[in-house]
Amino acid sequence: MLQWLRRRIAGPEPIAEADWRAACAAIAVIDGLDGQALERLRTLAARFLHDKDIVGAHDLALTGHDRLVIATLACLPVLSLGYDWLAGWRQVIVYGDAFRVRRQWHDEESGVVSEADDWLAGEAWQHGPLVLSLADIQADLDDPHAGFNLVAHEVAHKLDMLDGHSDGVPPLPDRPRRQRWLATFQGAFDGLRAEVDAGRDTFLDPYAAEAPDEFFAVVSEAYFSCPQALAAAHPDLHGELRAFYGIELRLPA
Residue numbers of the site for Zn ion (CB under 5 A)?
Answer: 214, 217
Decide whether 45 or 217 has the Cβ nearer to Zn ion: 217
In a 3-state reduction of DSSP, which class is residue 127? Answer: coil
- Which is it for strands 122-124 and 99-106: parallel, antiparallel or unpaired? unpaired
In the complex, the smallest distance separating the C-beta of residue 217 from Zn ion, rounded to whole angstroms, is: 4
- To Zn ion, the closest distance from the beta carbon of 90 in angstroms equals 21
Q: To the nearest whole angstrom, how small is the minimum distance from the Cβ of residue 213 to Zn ion?
A: 7
In angstroms, give the least distance from the CB of 81 to Zn ion: 19
In the complex with Zn ion, the residue whose CB is nearer, 78 or 121, is: 121
For Zn ion, the closer CB: 131 or 230: 131
Residue nearest to Zn ion according to CB distances in the complex: 217
- Letter string b/e over residues 8-21, b meaning 16 or more CB atoms within 10 A of that residue's CB: eeeeeeebeeebbe
Coil, strand or helix at 183 = helix
Q: Which is nearer to Zn ion, 13 or 118 (CB)?
A: 118
As a whole number of angstroms, the distance between CA 227 and CA 78 comes to: 16
Query: Which helix or strand (DSSP H or E) is residue 239 part of?
Result: helix 235-245
Cβ-Cβ contacts under 8 Å for 196 (sequence gap 6 or more): 202, 206, 209
Per the CB < 8 A criterion, the answer to whether 216 and 169 are in contact is yes
Instruction: Encode burial over 137-164: b for 16+ CB neighbours within 10 A, e otherwise.
Output: beebeeebbebbbbbbbbbbbbbbbeee
| Residue 100 beta carbon to Zn ion: minimum distance, rounded to whole angstroms | 16
Comparison of 214 and 240: residue with beta carbon closer to Zn ion:
214
Nearer to Zn ion, 45 or 132 (CB): 132
Shortest approach of Zn ion to residue 89 CB, angstroms? 16
